[in-house]
Amino acid sequence: MPINGCNRVVVGISDMKISSNPNDYIVTYSLGSCLGVTVYDPVIKVAGMIHCMLPISSIDTEKAKKEPYMFVDTGLPILLNKMFDYGADKKRLIIKIAGCASILDDKGLFKIGERNLTVARKLLWKNSILIKAVDAGGAVSRTLSIDVSTGTVVIKSKGVERELV
């Protein structure tokens, strides 16, 4: 359904989407401890987003084969490789990360959000890909969106929208 002349492309939990349509914006909702990553190539104007639940696929390799986007260590490399298939250049990528909160883990026992962010940072660092901006942690849920035509990333939390720069 078009909103403000744009088509909303929704990324569900354990999902990933890529678009080169300038009339699209990609959005994911309810980023609690989950990791949301946007990837943008400003030259060819292609955007991608992933919504990962858990950091490491080794906890359930069968599940990871069926749902690779569920895990940061399997999903994020797929997103990057698909961006390269679209013609994105690693040197031009603009990476922005959101989520990774501690919403249902008051005592810090599981630290899923923190671990999601750590795995993403390590994976990108090992591949010489820099992160431009991060809005992570705390105890708030976030909505993350990216405009395919401009690469503008917006975070919405507690009813307030702001650009992630």
**45-58 pLDDT per residue, tens:** 999 999 999 999 99
> Is 149 domain-assigned?
yes
Residue 115 belongs to some domain of the structure: yes
d(CA 160, CA 165): 16
- Answer yes or no: is 165 within a domain: no
pLDDT of the residue at 1: 44
Task: Give the Cα separation of 33 and 90 in Å (integer).
Answer: 27
What string of H, E and C letters represents the secondary structure of 77-106? HHHHHHHHHCCCCHHHCEEEEEECCCCCCC
Q: Per the structure, how many domains does the chain have?
A: 1
Instruction: Give residue 94's domain range.
Output: 2-156
Judge whether 164 lies within some domain.
no
Q: Residue 162 domain-assigned?
A: no
- Within a domain: 11: yes
Nearest to 77 by CA among 48, 105, 102: 48
Q: Is 37 domain-assigned?
A: yes
Instruction: Indicate which CATH number applies to the domain containing 114.
Output: 3.30.1330.200
Query: Which DSSP helix (H) or strand (E) runs through 133?
Result: strand 131-136
The DSSP secondary-structure symbol of 34 reads: S
Confidence (pTM):
0.94
Query: pLDDT under 50 in the chain at which residues?
Result: 1
Q: Confirm whether 19 is domain-assigned.
A: yes
